[in-house]
Amino acid sequence: MDQQKAKFICSKCGAETDADVDTERYKKRLCRNCFGKKKDTRVNQLNDLTGAEWARHSKSIESYPDTRTQNQKEHGACFPKALARHQIEIYTQEGDVVLDPFVGVGTTMQAAHELGRKSLGIELNPRFAQMCRDEIAEKGIEGELFEDDAENMLAHIARDSVDFILTSPPYANLLKTINGNFAYKWRELSEINPIKNPAPYSLDGRDIGNMEYGEGIAAISGVMKKCHAVQKAGTYAVWVVKDFRDLKRGVPYIDFHGDIIRCAEEAGYTLWDIRIYDQTNFRPLVCLGYPSRNFYLNIGHSYLLVFKKMR
Ligand SMILES: C[S@@+](CC[C@H](N)C(=O)[O-])C[C@H]1O[C@@H](n2cnc3c(N)ncnc32)[C@H](O)[C@@H]1O
């Protein structure tokens, strides 16, 4: 036999509703919305997000507005501050310490400051380091910038002291070897835009941006081990990387993100997540390979590689 339904007014919100008479909800005279809407008293151990924000931050593909400050434009290889804020909101709580071992002009430190986190940065290039220091002074950022090779991290930062790492590494000698104009001649045919390559960072031999690919990966591997040492157990690191091509040397695809994952695993991290950073709307489409038999994709995304130091 069907259960008996009764209409009533919700004791909490006053809405008209109904329920089966022998249910808990009927006894409490609560509508469907108010029933079960108890305050979540569980302690959020990772960040300061509500449950709804936690869900909204968990998309595996994300895009960020391509806004750039004058300093970021001068640097030429920065990620958007919105990207940095997003990661910091997810993987830290207010007061935590965020480190960027390749801090550039300080995007990570600025985002951390805006969110009430402390920050540490390492930058080898004196010009970028100075730009970062100026930002720290001007904005009153609670943090420290070390002008040094990231390899020397342990001389500046204590082991097991950092709550989160966000960084994007230099791309070995990509900036020098990549030929941004290799498809330029087809521009008139396809109404596409030219690529403007960022300038090389410096002439310093310790600058990973000046190294051959294999040497650069070895240097990043060394830095990754130091990163693992300075992080607290149970914390995360996000590395923002993009794959690329070296067509001048006949290499159609360089699996940079795969190499970074290998470096991280060798350093003791666990690969935890991969988020696609969709840049399609901010990248000019170029016609690659036409009309030969070489069809190439326009690489319009980066990877946000999420690693965790388990213990
Ligand atoms: C991809 S950029 C990072 C930009 C940064 N995310 C920002 O938004 O400003 C990489 C940076 O690493 C720096 N770098 C290269 N080799 C380094 C090393 N051995 N130690 C520390 N920094 C280094 C470069 O000068 C460059 O500024």
245: phi then psi, degrees, rounded to nearest 5: -125, 155
128 lines ligand 1 (CB under 6 A): yes
171 lines ligand 1 (CB under 6 A): no
CA 219/CA 206 separation, integer angstroms: 9
- Range list of β-strands (E), the chain: 5-9, 16-20, 61-62, 97-100, 118-123, 143-147, 162-167, 231-241, 244-246, 251-254, 270-278, 301-308
**∠179-180-183 over CA atoms, to 5°?**
100
Question: Measured between alpha carbons, how far apart are the two ends of the chain, in Å?
Answer: 57
Report pLDDT for 246.
87
Report pLDDT for 215.
93
**Of 310, 167, 159, 158, the residue nearest 235 (C-alpha):** 310
pLDDT in tens, the chain (311 residues): 567 999 999 998 899 999 999 999 999 999 988 887 777 788 999 999 999 999 999 999 999 998 889 999 999 899 999 999 999 999 999 999 999 999 999 999 999 999 999 999 999 999 999 999 999 999 999 999 999 999 999 999 999 999 999 999 998 676 555 444 433 333 343 344 434 445 556 788 999 999 999 999 999 999 999 999 999 999 999 999 999 998 888 899 999 999 999 999 999 999 999 999 999 988 889 999 999 999 999 999 999 999 999 99
Residue whose structure tokens are 């040497």: 215
Q: Look at the domain 48-308 and name its fold.
A: Rossmann fold (3.40.50)
- Paired sense of beta strands 143-147 and 118-123, if any: parallel
CA 75/CA 211 separation, integer angstroms: 18
The closest residue, in CA terms, to atom 6 on ligand 1 is 78
Report pLDDT for 305.
98
Which atom of ligand 1 is nearest the CA belonging to 201? 25
The closest residue, in CA terms, to atom 26 on ligand 1 is 104
55: phi then psi, degrees, rounded to nearest 5: -65, -45
Q: pTM of the prediction?
A: 0.85
CA of 134 to the centre of ligand 1 (A): 17
CA 166/CA 87 separation, integer angstroms: 8
166 lines ligand 1 (CB under 6 A): no
Report pLDDT for 193.
41
Mutating to test ligand 1, I would choose from 74, 208, 241 the residue with most ligand atoms within 8 A of its C-beta, which is 208
Give domain limits for the chain. Answer: 1-38, 48-308
Question: Residue 207 corresponds to which amino acid?
Answer: D
